[in-house]
Amino acid sequence: MKNKDILKTGIPGLDEIFEGGIRRSNSILVSGCPGTGKTIFSIQFLYEGARMGEPGLYITTEEKASEIKSYANSLGLNLEKFEKKGLIFFCENLFRDSVKLISLETPLKTIKTKNIKRVILDGLTLFEYLYSDNINEYRRGILRFLSQVKQTNATLLATSERSNLDFNNISYKPEDFLFNGLIFLAAVRKGYSFERVLTVVKMRGQKHSINLYPFSIGHGGIKIHTKQIPFSLEKEF
**Residues interacting with ligand ATP, by CB under 6 A?**
32, 34-40, 74-75, 161, 217-218
Q: How far is the CB of 39 from Mg ion (least distance, A)?
A: 3
Q: Which does 174 bind (CB under 5 to 8 A by kind): Mg ion, ligand ATP, none?
A: none
List of residues 6+ apart from 78 with CB closer than 8 A: 72
171: phi > 0 → left, psi -120 to 50 → alpha, else beta; which?
beta
Q: Which does 161 bind (CB under 5 to 8 A by kind): Mg ion, ligand ATP, none?
A: ligand ATP
Q: What is the rounded CA–CA span in Å between residue 59 and residue 91? A: 5
Q: Does position 160 bind Mg ion by CB under 5 A? A: no
CB atoms within 10 A of CB 94: 19
The three-class DSSP label of residue 112 is: helix
Q: What is the rounded CA–CA span in Å between residue 30 and residue 190? A: 23
CB nearer Mg ion, residue 50 or residue 121: 121
Q: Is the peptide bond before 123 cis (omega within 30 degrees of 0)?
A: yes
Q: Which of 26, 27, 36, 39 binds Mg ion (CB under 5 A)?
A: 39
In the complex, which residue's CB is closest to Mg ion?
39
Q: How far is the CB of 122 from ligand ATP (least distance, A)?
A: 7
CB atoms within 10 A of CB 134: 11
Q: How far is the CB of 61 from Mg ion (least distance, A)?
A: 9
Q: What is the rounded CA–CA span in Å between residue 90 and residue 35? A: 22
Q: Which does 74 bind (CB under 5 to 8 A by kind): ligand ATP, Mg ion, none?
A: ligand ATP
Q: How far is the CB of 148 from ligand ATP (least distance, A)?
A: 24
Q: What backbone torsions phi and psi does residue 35 show, to the nearest 5 degrees?
A: 75, 15
Applying CB under 5 A, which part among 39-47, 91-99, 101-109, 213-221 lies near Mg ion?
39-47
Q: How far is the CB of 157 from ligand ATP (least distance, A)?
A: 12
List of residues contacting Mg ion (CB under 5 A): 38-39
